[in-house]
Structure 1
């Protein structure tokens, strides 16, 4: 049995949390806020028609944007409420309820590999500590030989950047670029956010 993620522990403690999260982003979108920064970065990394895995897709804002940009998108999240919102708000991608620590897309009939695996929204920090290395290993396993993983999360969330990069190295992934924001600002020792672009 895989250890429950911090996200699902929060949902268990507050059953309305997922619905609040969905409505929060719907309200932000309705207010015209820019919610597509992560998607723009990923879109710039690939040509049209790329295969993209949105790992920890939440209610689908990133994967939905990439689908509309012309990519083949599969989104995975452990929370069925978030997947239901993704299906409603962003039709087109294939949305799947699954734990990233047990990710096996061929078992869902989904061909591999992917040109990019992206994980935004602090997903890495919500992973159960005992599953972090395995999640990164599975992300690496779903990549094409020349594919890249783009993983972003904040500092102070219990997953030190150094430990994350050690897990990535153990999975055979090395940094191409380390950024401190999704709008391409360079990573520094005192950065409070990391966007890691990784490849084999």
Structure 2
């Protein structure tokens, strides 16, 4: 069972979507993750939104001309995503068991996806995500590192994550402090951009 399911019971899709709708209604930009992805690869690129939730990132990218697939374990989240964008591909799957042969230009894991996986499944999930990337493709993941930035006790360090990425054949290209592109400052949240080399290391 994932930490996310332990936290929510897998039934919080409408509540989660409502929270972001309320933020957007106040004028807050809720598309920072998607904007960063759009800055990294051009429209028309194939993007996998891993841990897509209610589809906030995937739907925005699709509206900008990206070829997007969303995957999530939580059926209540996917119900909302499918209702909002029935024309997109939504896959119900644990990321540690994700089996996609398609080659994506970018895989994004936003919203604390990595530390909300099941304990012990993180390395397998990163490996599965890396396998979906085409050569020269990017894995972009943002997550909290301390209690102030997480809804669960901290469990994943950047050293852990980098080691899982390295084992999956990925190379760290850049690390940011936020989705708006500020350089990482050793704070409690990080956005890591790893690349699958075009030739094996």
What is the TM-score of this pair, normalised by structure 1? Answer: 0.89
Mapping of residues 1-200 of structure 1, within 5 Å: 4-12=1-9, 17-106=12-101, 112-156=102-146, 157-188=154-185, 190-200=186-196
Query: What does the per-residue CA deviation read over 1:52-91, in whole Å, with 9 as the maximum and x for residues that have no partner?
Result: 0000001001000100000100000100110111112234
Bigger shift: residues 50-59 or 40-49:
40-49
Does the CA-based 8 Å contact 1:67-1:92 persist in structure 2?
Answer: no
Secondary structure of 1:196's counterpart equals: strand
Aligned residue pairs total 189
Task: Structure 2 unaligned segments of length 5 or more: list them.
Answer: 147-153, 197-201
Distance 1:52 1:196 in 2: 16
Give how far 1:16 is off. Answer: 5.0
What is the TM-score of this pair, normalised by structure 2? Answer: 0.89
Structure 1 segments of 4+ aligned residues over 3 angstroms from their partners: 15-19
Secondary structure of 1:186's counterpart equals: coil
CA RMSD of aligned residues (A): 1.4
Secondary structure of 2:4's counterpart equals: helix
Query: What does the per-residue CA deviation read over 1:88-130, in whole Å, with 9 as the maximum and x for residues that have no partner?
Result: 2234321111110100124xxxxx1000000001111101121
